[in-house]
Structure 1
Amino acid sequence: MQQGQSLLHLMSFSNGGYGSAFASAFALTFAVSAGSFTVGSGLGIGGALAKLSKSPWLRVASRSYTTVVRALPELLLLLVAFYAGAPALEALARHAHLVSPTFEFDPFVVAVASLGFIQGAYLTDIFRGAMIAVPAGQIEAAHAFGMSRIQVFARVRLPLAARLALPGVGNIWLNATKDASFISVLGSFSDLLKTSAMAAGATRHYLFFYLVTAAFFLLLSLISMAFFAQLERHANRGVMRAH
């Protein structure tokens, strides 16, 4: 009983407890996940449109983007983007006199953009498949009503594609919550993994703190799955299902 009480004290918000550190780490992990997922969604929609474009240059660029991201380890891409890509952009901006000589990207922004770049490649093919699956009759009917191409995309194709893409998008979000743990290797972030490693190293309760970290990720996953399940039910309301 005393051992159990001492372990619970380690997660308290009082002196000697790591409750505040884990709460901050959980908030950071969620913020990185949400930010990178938002960036990835934008890149995914753009990449899908590029793959469906009539321009061969856009199609080649989009295919190259998805091929490179799929072929290389995600951690390697993150390290290259964080330690090479961001400094290169900073130097280019300084050279072009677009920013001050002391300008530096915020590490959080770089981490979110780097992870979003990775997730965007996977979302590209999800959105592309969803756009292709939109019934042609819906598009033709919209044109028959006199809608422009932009109106057809915004009012018909994109909403229908979003509904069809929801299952795949939900899986990418779950991956985003786990991919956020990669920032623990960047040195300047106290995310869940780094916080658990620091707490475990200081107290020697390795199993306890890693199980606590696993519980946080599991909680986030369960809440996310429940949210996307509700979102799918809402999006598919009124849709006839074959029996």
Structure 2
Amino acid sequence: MFDYRGYGWVFWEGVQITILVGLCAAVVAILMGLIGAWGKLARSRPANLVANAYTTIVRGIPELVLILLVYYGVTILLQRTLTALLGSEVLIDIDPFTAGVLTLGVIYGAFATEVFRGAFLAIPKGQIEAAYSFGMSRVQTLWRIMLPQVWRFALPGLGNVWLVLIKATALMSVIQLEELLRWSDIGARNTKLPFTFYLTASFIYLGITVVSMLLQHRAEVWANRGIRRA
């Protein structure tokens, strides 16, 4: 049943790219989430409007559509814009890895925005007021009082975002990024064993999910050390 006919190596190649894309996209998502949460909680109305528009639009459009828009649409738009400005033809090629990381990062940054917004709101206001009363600036209060607690409140939500993001890397196969699903498809086509390769790929995704959940649990325990629960 699990005879890969010499193509078992494709899974290792695919897993490496899948995890690398997932980690890089997660970094982008966290940065976008922090910026988006700041925009939603800021007293500036323009910042509120931009942040709300970002989360509404991104969460309302399917991931696959956004991936195709970034990979094909943004490339064409940049080429036409630069050609018009420079007066000569300009060729721009966004590689699949960069397109995948940026697209997934921006998409799941919208979900991370809501996670961070909830985490910031969960911090007792009395602690923030106490920090100000001790003469701390806004930056000092953010760095010393808010951020350490934000991570503790945000970890469960960020863990869920990661689990969805790592599975969404499979969508990158449509732009020829050689991640796990793409390599599995190559192996399946060459051996004529689609069930074997896709089933193995599904077990690998499941394994990544289980390991991620275990790591998330340990991170939550570490973040909540010293916290007394009622």
Answer with 198-207 or 114-123: which moved more: 198-207
Could you list the per-position Cα deviations for residues 22-63 of structure 1 after superposition, in whole angstroms to 9, with x for gaps in the alignment?
111110011111111110110000000000111111100110
CA distance in structure 2 between the partners assigned to 1:168 and 1:46 by the alignment: 17
Aligned to 2:185: 197
Distance in 2, Cα, partners of 1:93 & 1:131: 41
> Does structure 1 residue 63 correspond to structure 2 residue 49?
no
Kept after mapping to 1: 8 A contact 2:108/2:165 = yes
Q: 2:43 corresponds to which residue?
A: 54
2:126 is matched with 137
- What secondary structure does 2:220 align onto? helix
In structure 2, the gaps of 5 or more residues are none
Is the CA contact (8 Å cut-off) linking 2:71 and 2:94 kept in structure 1?
no
4, 27, 31: which one aligns with 1:42 = 31
Residue 195 of structure 2 is matched in structure 1 by 207
Partner of 1:237: helix, strand, or coil? coil
2:222 to 224, 234, 241: 234
Q: Normalised by the size of structure 2, how large is the TM-score?
A: 0.92
Counterpart CA distance in 2 for 1:167 and 1:90 is 41
> Partners in 2 of 1:18 and 1:112 — Cα distance?
27
Deviation at residue 128 of structure 1 after TM alignment = 0.5
CA–CA distance in 2 between the matches of 1:95 and 1:233? 56
Q: Which range is displaced more, 105-114 or 145-154?
A: 105-114
The residue type equivalent to 2:11 in the other structure is F
Matched, 1:19 2:17: no
| Partners of 1:94 and 1:227 in 2: CA distance | 48
Offset of 1:103 from its aligned partner?
Answer: 5.0
Q: Structure 1 vs Structure 2: percent identity of aligned residues? A: 38
Task: Give the TM-score taking structure 1 as reference length.
Answer: 0.87
Length, aligned pairs only: 228
Q: In structure 2, do the counterparts of structure 1 residues 89 and 45 end up closer, same or farther at CA, with 3 Å as the change threshold?
A: farther
| Distance across 2 between alignment mates of 1:103 and 1:84 | 12
Partner of 1:154: 143
Q: CA RMSD in A?
A: 1.9
Which residue of structure 2 lines up, in the alignment, with residue 182 of structure 1? 171
| 1:196/1:130 CA distance change after superposition, 3 Å | same
- What is the distance in 2 between the residues matched to 1:180 and 1:71? 19
Aligned twin of 2:68:
79
Residue in 2 aligned with 1:166? 155
Q: Does 1:107 align with 2:93?
A: no
